[in-house]
Amino acid sequence: MMGSNLMIDNLASIALANEMCNKSGIDTITMGEVIALVMEAQEKGLLSVDECDGVAAAWGDPDAMLKLIDMAAKKEGFGARMAEGSKKLAEEIGPEAAEMAVQVRGLDAPAHDPRAFHGFSLAYATSIRGACHCASMNLYMEAGSSVPHPQIDLDGPFEEQSSVGKGYLTARAQELGQILNSAVVCLLTAVAWDTDSLVTAMNAVTGWGLDIDSLMRIGERIWTVKRGIQALYGSAGEDDVMPPRYGQAVKEGPHEGSVPDFDLMKSEYYEYRKLDENGRLSRGKCEELDLVFLAEKLGI
């Protein structure tokens, strides 16, 4: 996000930018997205150089990137506005900028582009913490690697740049992702785990005698509890959205012209999750997953 996202190819500056963020406790994905927003807003005349404390933020300028990171880390001047993230900054700039911010629920999206892997747009939209690439196994499952495992019931294979079947795939990818997150398994290494290895490892730790179906049910329960907590904090289907940028086809490259059919996937996803039209959990699904306490907490 500090490199090609900003059209910067100076590796020393990219490394320094990441080091600055790490030392300041700043997420590099978010910082790269915020700087991109500033660059585009200046380019389109929505932000002036004076408003940015004299920093001319042009695409491909590593010096401007480093200055903006320093300002944001110290919360100095315009940097204090940047430090609030792209969602709030874009809203302050104006409606056109809000359309440019690539975020869900305030979390900025990473470099995994849903126009290449359509299901990711839905995974971002329904992730509990926003546009997170670590909450599901979409990247691997859509690409047809060793995950999904043969024992997980999926109607594949799937085309990466197709939205067909991706609602169901994304739900299952999230369930598997919840299991791996809970087991503190990095998703980058998860592709090396086949179903038998995963089940064997979990049984060795828990002694529960799980099979893949019961393990995936645990993943579904985890997601459902999180969704319930999210609802208690006031976020539901109105926030299950795809950033407008993903609805704009790129004009060249391997996913030229590819745009996710978000409504198709969302409809299939809601049906599988038994969510109502407003994205709210159903009592029936909670009872099915032995989560009656959650239904009562939600008043459903």
Q: What is the pLDDT of residues 6-33, one digit of tens each?
A: 999 999 999 999 999 999 999 999 999 9
Residue with tokens 């126009």: 115
Are 141 and 120 contacting, i.e. CB atoms less than 8 angstroms apart? no
Reduce the DSSP state of residue 15 to 3 states and report it: helix
Cα–Cα dist 117/141, whole Å = 10
Predicted confidence band at 121 (pLDDT cuts at 50, 70, 90)? very high
DSSP 3-state percent helix, strand, coil across the chain (nearest 5): 55, 0, 45
CA distance 183 to 14: 32
| Beta strand ranges found along the chain (DSSP E) | 103-104, 107-108
Query: Could you give the CA distance from residue 30 to residue 129 in angstroms, rounded to a whole number?
Result: 13
b/e sequence 104-130, b meaning 16+ C-beta within 10 Å = bbbbbbbeebbbbbbbbbbbbbbbbeb
Is the pLDDT at 147 greater than 90, yes or no? no
* Cis preceding linkage at 157, omega within 30: yes
Please give the backbone phi and psi of residue 50, each rounded to the nearest 5 degrees, phi first: -60, -40
Q: Give the distance from CA 300 to its chain's centroid.
A: 28
- Summarize pLDDT for 170-186 with one digit per residue, the tens: 999 999 999 999 988 88
Tell me how far apart the alpha carbons of residues 233 and 255 are, in angstroms, rounded to a whole number: 37
Residue 154 — pLDDT band, cuts 50, 70, 90? Answer: low
Domains and CATH numbers, the chain: 4-101 (1.10.569.10), 119-298 (1.10.599.10)
The Cβ-side half-sphere exposure at 76, using a 13 Å CA radius, reads: 10
Tokens 């320093």 sit on residue: 70
Distance of alpha carbon 227 from alpha carbon 298, whole angstroms: 11
Taking CA 212 as the corner, what is the angle to CA 210 and CA 217, rounded to the nearest 5 degrees?
A: 85
**Please, which contacts does 23-30 make with residues 24 or more away whose CB atoms are closer than 8 Å?**
24/73, 26/69, 26/72, 26/73, 27/108, 28/1, 28/2, 29/1, 29/108, 29/109, 29/110, 29/111, 30/85, 30/86, 30/107, 30/108
Q: Does the global pTM surpass 0.75?
A: yes
Average pLDDT over residues 239-247: 95
Could you tell me which residue, 161 or 50, shows the higher pLDDT?
50
